């Protein structure tokens, strides 16, 4: 193990001069460095389907109407201090706080505090296809498009400066939970109006203005993002003047930076690195269950994968237990459902797919499927649900080779991956999902509804009307028992049809230097950095 550490340190030494020149020199004295592998395509989480903006940046730049308590898993007030559910879940009234300021940036100085106009603007932009801002920067809102909220939201009205009423066409028991996700930030209408007057609407999503604890200070593509604290933050001034999000190194490179002190926090360390992290007295780790799932999606529009029997036969060839040992090292459990076990709607009778390569070969032969060649699309970067996607793909490739199936691995990144997957040229894709909502609907509809094909989050291209009707039925009742029955039925449909093969539900892991305090790891995604500080540093 010591030899490995020495090799890592040597690699870091060779890169250190470039790293130090890339990062701001003053960060050691007035902030901390958060190292994560990822890329930025937008600074507005409304426009994202996953990635760094949702997992890390949204909690720093913006606030939401509601939050989810990381300890009780219940809805909690955020920008909305309280709310009412009316008409059995078809009408929602939100009562806003009076003391929230938007950020003052180099290009925008707010003249008023956050009010109902901002909430109406932020939601209407996504849900009203006729809104003047709906089509700015593409008009695609992947998360909410997959939920078909443009069809289900009847009206969004300002009742007074601090009260908003949202009417739906039919009851939806999951609605507030979706507003509690990072996909629903509250933006400044005043800022949007100024950009409109200047003919610069596209800047809204590129030069963010939120009410969160930090503001965008500097961005260097592929290198780092510097955040400066918001001195007018309504919850109190953040403890550190700045945070740098370092995107400039891969797996072992980020570990090297943590060991040498160039990183203060390492997001999503590989499970294989845990022994190194535990053995170093200068480091600390936090682990907790996460609301996430890693899965293998079959392109159900492409023969022979359009046949459920073929998908079931291929699933028998995947040695999930080996994935647990080789990828997660005890930091995940084998998944039997697309829902994590922590979900209140998890079907306790669900069973992990059997591993039986002989049976797989026999079934494929009986189905007339021989000499099958497939492409497997894989994200190159580590993810919260899978720390080593490429290695996982190689193990799946070897498993399928044992039953006579040749798999070609195609590494892809970010929005490029999403765009290519929607071309439907792939056969398989290794993916996953993480949500900051405890409602099962935030897993089912974004990943597997018919609408999610168009919104580019349903990589299986699977559309089943019975499944969609079951999900809709689950939304009509505020009674938990009734919703659980519907979601159990939905999980049984998925087990039979198998558009995706659930692989693992993993722990969330963060490693950090011993002098970093106040870091919170939430099961629902990365939390605010407002309370983080360096022991002994001057605020």
pLDDT averaged per 10 residues in sequence order, the chain, 539 residues: 38 41 64 89 92 91 93 90 96 98 96 98 97 96 92 97 97 95 97 98 97 97 94 97 87 84 90 88 89 95 97 97 90 92 90 95 96 93 85 97 97 62 77 88 95 90 97 93 96 97 92 94 82 81
Longest dimension (CA), the chain: 71
Per-residue pLDDT, 434: 86
Q: What is the pTM of this model?
A: 0.85
Give residue 424's pLDDT.
59
Quote the distance between the C-alpha of residue 134 and its chain's center. 23
19 and 68: one domain? no
Question: Considering the domain boundaries, does residue 58 fall inside one?
Answer: no
Q: Is residue 158 domain-shared with residue 187, that is, in the same domain?
A: yes
**Which is nearest to 35 in space by CA: 13, 12, 14?**
12
CATH of the domain at 245: 3.40.190.10
Separation between Cα atoms, residue 133 and residue 40, nearest integer Å: 22
**Model pLDDT for residues 66-75, shown as the tens digit of each residue:** 998 877 888 9
Q: Which domain holds residue 314?
A: 292-507
Residue 233 belongs to some domain of the structure = yes
* pLDDT at residue 139 in the model: 93
Task: State residue 402's pLDDT score.
Answer: 97
Domain co-membership, 344 together with 302: yes
If one counts the domains in the chain, the total is 3
Same domain as 220, residue 147 = no
What is the rounded CA–CA span in Å between residue 41 and residue 140?
Answer: 13
Residue 231 placed within a domain: yes
Q: What is the pLDDT of residue 25?
A: 60
Whether 244 and 389 share a structural domain: no
- One domain, residues 391 and 478: yes
> In whole angstroms, how far apart are CA 213 and each of 41, 363, 381?
21, 56, 27
Domain co-membership, 501 together with 401? yes
Quote the pLDDT of residue 17. 40
Going by C-beta distance under 8 Å and a sequence separation of 6 or more, which residues neighbour residue 340? 289, 290, 291, 292, 293, 346, 505
User: What distance in Å separates the CA atoms of residue 149 and residue 127, rounded to the nearest whole number?
Assistant: 6
Neighbour-count burial of 137, counting CB atoms closer than 10 A to its CB (0-12 exposed, 13-18 middle, 19+ buried): middle
- DSSP characters over 204-238: GTTS---SSSEEEEEEETTTEEEEEE-TT-TT---
> Beta-strand (E) ranges in 390-481?
406-412, 428-434
Q: Which pLDDT score, from 0 to 100, does residue 3 have?
A: 39
pLDDT at position 151: 93
Among residues 184, 168, 169, 164, the alpha carbon closest in space to that of 122 is found at 184
Contact 407, 392 (CB under 8 A): no
**Residue 386, CA distances (Å) to 97, 144, 257, 523 in order:** 38, 24, 21, 15
CA distance 254 to 36: 8
How far is the CA of 134 from the CAs of 124, 125, 141, 350, in angstroms?
8, 5, 9, 41
């Amino acid at each position: 193990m010591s030899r490995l550490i020495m090799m890592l340190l040597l690699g870091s030494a060779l890169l250190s001069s470039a790293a130090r020149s890339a990062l701001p020199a003053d960060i050691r004295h007035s902030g901390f460095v958060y190292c994560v592998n990822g890329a930025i395509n937008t600074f507005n989480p409304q426009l994202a389907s996953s990635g760094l903006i949702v997992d890390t940046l949204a909690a720093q730049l913006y606030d939401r109407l509601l939050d989810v308590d990381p300890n009780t898993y219940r809805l909690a007030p955020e920008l909305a201090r309280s709310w009412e559910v009316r008409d059995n879940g078809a009408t929602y009234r939100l009562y806003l706080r009076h003391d929230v300021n938007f950020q003052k940036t180099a290009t925008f100085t707010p003249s008023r505090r956050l009010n109902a106009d901002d909430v109406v603007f932020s939601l209407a932009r996504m849900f009203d296809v006729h809104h003047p801002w709906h089509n700015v920067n593409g008009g695609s809102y992947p998360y909410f498009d997959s939920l078909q909220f443009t069809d289900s939201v009847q009206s969004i009205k300002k009742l007074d400066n601090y009260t908003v009423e949202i009417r739906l066409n039919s009851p939806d028991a999951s609605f507030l939970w979706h507003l509690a996700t990072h996909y629903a930030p509250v933006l400044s209408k005043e800022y949007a109006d100024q950009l409109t007057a200047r003919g610069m609407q596209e800047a809204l999503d590129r030069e963010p203005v939120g009410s969160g604890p930090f503001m965008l200070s500097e961005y260097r593509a592929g290198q780092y993002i510097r955040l400066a604290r918001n001195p007018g933050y309504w919850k109190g001034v953040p403890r550190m003047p700045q945070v740098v999000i370092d995107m400039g190194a891969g797996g072992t490179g980020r570990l090297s930076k943590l060991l040498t002190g160039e990183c203060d926090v390492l997001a999503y360390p590989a499970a294989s690195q845990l022994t190194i992290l535990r053995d170093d007295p200068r480091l600390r780790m936090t682990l907790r269950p996460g609301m996430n799932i890693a899965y293998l999606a079959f392109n159900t529009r492409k023969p022979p994968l359009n046949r459920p029997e073929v998908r079931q036969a291929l699933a028998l060839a995947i040695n999930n237990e080996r994935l647990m040992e080789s990828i997660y090292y005890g930091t995940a459990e084998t998944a039997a459902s697309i829902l994590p076990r922590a979900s209140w709607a998890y079907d306790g009778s669900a069973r992990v797919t059997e591993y039986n390569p002989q049976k797989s070969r026999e079934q494929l032969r009986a189905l007339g499927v021989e000499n099958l060649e497939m492409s497997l699309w894989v994200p190159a970067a580590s993810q919260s649900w899978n720390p080593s996607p490429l290695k996982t793909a190689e193990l799946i490739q070897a498993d399928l080779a044992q039953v006579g199936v040749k798999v070609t691995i195609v590494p892809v990144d970010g929005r490029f991956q999403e765009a290519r997957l929607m071309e439907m040229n792939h056969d398989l894709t290794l993916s996953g999902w993480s949500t900051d909502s405890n409602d099962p609907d935030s897993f089912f509809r974004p990943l597997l509804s018919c609408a999610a094909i168009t919104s580019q989050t349903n990589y299986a291209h699977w559309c089943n009307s019975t499944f969609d009707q079951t999900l809709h039925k689950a939304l009509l009742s505020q009674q938990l028992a009734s919703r659980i029955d519907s979601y159990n039925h939905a999980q049984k449909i998925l087990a039979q049809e198998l558009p995706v093969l659930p692989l693992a539900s993993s722990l969330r892991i963060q490693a950090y230097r011993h002098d970093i305090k106040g870091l919170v790891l939430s099961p629902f995604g990365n939390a605010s950095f407002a309370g983080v500080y360096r022991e002994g540093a001057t605020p």
